[in-house]
Amino acid sequence: MVPYQHLHTLLRQHPVFGLLPPTAQEVLRRTARPRAVQKGEILVHQGQSWPCVAILVMSSGRWVLLAPSGRRQVVFHLGTGQVIWGHGLFDDGPSPASFEITLSGWVFWWPRTVVRPLLVQHPEALWALNREMVSWMRRVRDILYTLTFHDVMRRVARVLVEYLPVQEDEQPITRRITLEEMADLVGASPEYVCRVLRRLAQKGFLDIQRRYLVLKDRAALERLAWGDD
């Protein structure tokens, strides 16, 4: 069943769409085009123009940069209630990255011809969109800074700290992120990430098992991740 009731709530709560008056939100509700999406599906393809806007409903995804060699770099993730602003909303240029679905669910989308006039007519919402774009730029800057100035071991340590739940040291933690996903996040091959994990284990930071990890010293791993030598 198409989750229209979730769409109504998410539009009201969104930092941009929530600033539109009720009449404009009603236009979005009436014109929204539902689409079921599956994990692994590419919603937006890098290099192609996508003059649309979509909101994730009971689903999630990530922006991924693809190199000609086939290497991937995850830029950041979006979850339910967050909006995919197609670069084609602003111009006719190509998308600089692909958007990949990571959790099956729904998206509701609109063409540029629907969304842009509503934003132009309501400066508060348009200004909020500018703030969101600046926030994205800062997040991309942080990733580029890490890739440029931090070695792979420090990047892997940061992923472990951010993606593994906080538990007492020496308690098993089920792996919730695959080796391939970790490689996408740190900009390295899975084989290289595997070697780095073994080095971290040799240094006493963690113990690696097939189905879970054991953090031997989370505090030391955090110091490595955030540059406190």
Residue-level pLDDT at 229:
47
The confidence score (pLDDT) of residue 173 equals 66
Burial class (CB in 10 A: 0-12, 13-18, 19+), 99: buried
Give me the pLDDT at residue 107, please: 97
Question: Nearest Cα to 77, choosing from 5, 184, 190?
Answer: 184
pLDDT at site 208:
81
Q: Write the CATH number of the domain with boundaries 4-148.
A: 2.60.120.10
Q: Do the first three CATH levels of 4-148 and 151-225 match, i.e. the same topology?
A: no
Q: pLDDT digit string (tens) for 108-155?
A: 999 999 999 999 999 999 999 999 999 988 888 877 766 666 688 888
Query: What pLDDT is recorded for position 171?
Result: 63
Give the domain ranges of the chain: 4-148, 151-225
Tokens, residue 62: 């990530």
The helix (run of H) or strand (run of E) holding residue 185 is: helix 179-186
Residue 152: partners with Cβ closer than 8 Å, 6 or more residues away: 186, 187, 188, 192, 193, 196
pLDDT digit string (tens) for 90-110? 998 999 999 999 999 999 999
Question: pTM for the full model?
Answer: 0.73
pLDDT at position 165 is: 66
Residues of the chain with pLDDT under 50: 229
3-class SS at 77?
Answer: strand
CATH 1.10.10.10 fits 151-225, yes or no: yes
